[in-house]
Amino acid sequence: MPTKDVTKMTADELRTAGLEALERELGIVGAIRFLQLFETGSGDYTVDRHAWQDNMTVKDIVALIQKQDPN
């Protein structure tokens, strides 16, 4: 099956093609279950981010990243 040129699709065409691909590969139940994994969430990410990042320096953030990186 040839791949569609998604760079020329409108947002609606891309959404439709994506949903069709999900249904084709996973079946309707699998596609619905997959889509249910994603939620829009709630709150204001920008406000929340400022609440925990405003008092951090770049050095603090780098240290946190390095602490979590197993390599």
pLDDT at 62: 92
Query: What does the pLDDT look like over 21-56, one tens digit per residue?
Result: 999 999 999 999 999 998 878 889 899 989 988 999
pLDDT band at 10 (very low <50, low <70, confident <90, very high): very high
Q: Measure CA of the first residue to CA of the last residue in the chain; give whole Å.
A: 40
Whether the pTM exceeds 0.85: the reply is: no
pLDDT at 29: 96
On whether the CB atoms of residues 34 and 22 are closer than 8 A, the answer is yes
pLDDT band at 1 (very low <50, low <70, confident <90, very high): low
Return d(Cα 3, Cα 43) in angstroms, integer: 38
On whether the CB atoms of residues 6 and 20 are closer than 8 A, the answer is no
